[in-house]
Amino acid sequence: MSVETQKETLGFQTEVKQLLHLMIHSLYSNKEIFLRELISNASDAVDKLRFEALAKPELLEGGADLKIRVSFDKDAKTVTLEDNGIGMNRDDVITHLGTIAKSGTADFMKNLSGDQKKDSHLIGQFGVGFYSAFIVADKVDVYSRRAGTPASEGVHWSSKGEGEFEVATIDKPERGTRIVLHLKAGEDEFADGWRLRNIIKKYSDHIALPIELPKDVAPAEGEEAPAAEWETVNRASALWTRPRTEVKDEEYQEFYKHIAHDFENPLAWSHNKVEGKLEYNSLLYVPGRAPFDLYQREAPRGLKLYVQRVFVMDQAESFLPLYLRFIKGVVDSNDLSLNVSREILQKDPIIDSMKTALTKRVLDMLEKLAKNEPEQYKGFWKNFGQVMKEGPAEDFANKEKIAGLLRFASTHGTDGEQIVGLADYLARAKEGQDKIYYLTGETYAQVKNSPHLEVFRKKGIEVLLLTDRIDEWLMSYLSEFDGKSFVDVARGDLDLGKLDSEEDKKAAEEVAKSKEGLVERLKTALGDSVAEVRVSHRLTDSPAILAIGEQDLGLQMRQILEASGQKVPDSKPIFEFNPSHPLIEKLDGEQSEERFGDLSHILFDQAALAAGESLKDPAAYVTRLNKLLVELSA
């Protein structure tokens, strides 16, 4: 044992303490994943060394035979995992083993409920990693040295998984990392060659470098035990380079868990080999759950990039557009030069061609999922729908394809579930309907009960109900689908086209003409509050509504701009009234202009409230309403 110097005791970051507690108490039903996670980390360390050694061959220190070794000691009750990858220096060890730097940590911790079953699912969204060692160990020792540093700069990290850890400097002749797990009482099953072999075959067969276990060789009679002989127990070939027909579903699923640091199966995957002008392999996955940093657009994202089986980059973001940032996977190209940097990657025309093809492949995969497994797709949409809605603005070339994948709530649905696709909407459209009607608002209850829908209910016309914050922005980029244009039922002068009979249109014109005097009186009474006053064709039960001008911003967009500190252009609503409503008939017969003005403003404010807006002058509304109530009770 080498002498330890510069020994110090440090405290874990608060989040690490919580995560350790969760690991130990929530994952008891799936303990064996600790080995998968540690092997996955070791594989990443070897990948990083292999890439850095392309520019600095001296990092290999004369040992280019890269591998992972797993051994055990039944008497000492230990399991040891060793790699000869890039290794860590003292700062790396403190940073990587004492803190969680992953974005989304705060959200992850906030969502913990104390319910072990629910919390174990949350870990799957967050990733498990090194701390899974404490599921089976009550003490973990890590010995590491970064490639290219002197043997005297080795480091020893040790912890019992409680509040603190120790770090000391040691001599370590060989580069890489050795992790020794001191098994808890009752976990002796893992200090067994057969058990370890089965776990490696089950979870890590796809790892593209040898994972070795000691051979069980008995000494000949009268001889000393021979030096340990090692045998490779995994397939040790890159899974994405193998023909699809040779890869089992279970292998695809385990490979996903390896690259995504998830322990739930993916919803779908697509494995493809491209030959010809461009040559590359891709393996793309749709996760079953959304990560906590999904809505942080600046969070690290992207595919694992390999060039001719050599790892280059962990999160190459240039191969998929931002709205598909949840996709996990690997791309391995034969055409990219190895001296790539992020800047060069973004400008390389080969990347643009690959991005176009990979984007189409993901959208095809989602189309297939939506068609063949609608229940699974509902789960996908719940997790990733809002991110998919960023697509039409970011990816003009695939706008129609993305639109076909969108899901909405509608007046024909229940409970506000976003399950209606545009193709289904058009399939059950009324005869003669050449528009796709929608309404945006803050909540499902608000839009479902909006007066704007009254004529649609009367005629049995389906309307899409859009309540996500992003929806109005989305619709500014979606003008049509399958040749049918979108119409906001709260905007402009509603024209139902062929859905209105000639008799209906003629009757509406006659009513509008007969109410010209009332229109003028209302214009005078409401003054600068409105852009226009007109007779409504939308209302059957309500006295009045506010419509939005054709070019004006809706309430959602105004709120988004105001929240971001941007100046919102002034706009005034259009006041529409229902000429057959008793309140309007009473208003039309009102002789007192003062009372007419008060009633007009009350109707205007009520229409604003029904549209989900806050009143500009609530006190004036209350005063007018109280005055009316006093008159009625007199």
Contact between 156 and 167 (Cβ < 8 Å): yes
pLDDT for the residue numbered 169? 95
Lowest mean pLDDT among 10-24, 73-87, 426-440, 469-483: 10-24
Residue entry with tokens 């049995």: 460
- The domain ranges of the chain are 5-234, 240-382, 403-499, 504-548+559-633
pLDDT for the residue numbered 490? 86
Residue 610 has pLDDT above 80, yes or no: yes
Contact between 543 and 578 (Cβ < 8 Å): yes
The DSSP secondary structure of 416-484, one letter per residue, reads: T---B-HHHHHHTPPTT--EEEEEE-SSHHHHHT-GGGHHHHHHT---EEE-STTHHHHHTT--EETTE
Q: What is the pLDDT of residues 92-103, one digit of tens each?
A: 998 888 766 555
* Percent of the chain residues topping a pLDDT of 90: 39
Rounded CA-CA distance 601/597 in Å is 6
Residue 172 has pLDDT above 90, yes or no: yes
Q: What is the pLDDT of residues 6-37, one digit of tens each?
A: 889 888 877 777 767 766 666 556 788 889 88
Lowest mean pLDDT among 260-269, 279-288, 370-379: 260-269
Q: How far is CA 617 from CA 536, 547, 548, 602, 614, in A?
A: 25, 20, 20, 11, 9
pLDDT for the residue numbered 297? 73
Considering the domain 504-548+559-633, what is its CATH architecture?
Answer: Up-down Bundle (1.20)
pLDDT for the residue numbered 107? 61
Residue 212 token pair = 């070795």
Mean pLDDT over the full length of the chain: 85
Residue 244 has pLDDT above 80, yes or no: yes
> Greater confidence, 475 or 23?
475
Rounded CA-CA distance 13/1 in Å is 29
User: Please, how many CA atoms are within 13 Å of residue 330, restricted to the half-sphere of its CB?
Assistant: 27
Q: How far is CA 621 from CA 355, 614, 631, in A?
A: 56, 12, 16
Q: Please, which residues have CB within 8 angstroms of residue 225's CB and are 6 or more apart in sequence?
A: 219
CATH number of 5-234: 3.30.565.10
Residue 606 has pLDDT above 80, yes or no: yes
Residue 583 has pLDDT above 80, yes or no: yes
Question: Can you tell me the mean pLDDT for 583-592?
Answer: 87
- The one-character DSSP state at 548 is B
Contact between 536 and 545 (Cβ < 8 Å): yes
pLDDT for the residue numbered 224? 61
Q: Which of 459, 418, 495, 467 is nearest to 485 (CA)?
A: 495
Residue 310 has pLDDT above 80, yes or no: no
Q: How many degrees, rounded to 5, is the angle at CA 61 between CA 56 and CA 64? A: 85
Q: Which of 454, 440, 445 is nearest to 544 (CA)?
A: 454
SS (H, E, C) 57-79: HHHHCCCCCCCEEEEEECCCCEE
CATH number of 240-382: 3.30.230.80
Third-level CATH fold of 403-499? Rossmann fold (3.40.50)
Handedness of CA 18, 20, 24, 27 (dihedral sign): positive
Q: What is the pLDDT of residues 538-581, one digit of tens each?
A: 888 889 988 887 776 666 676 666 666 777 767 788 898 988 89
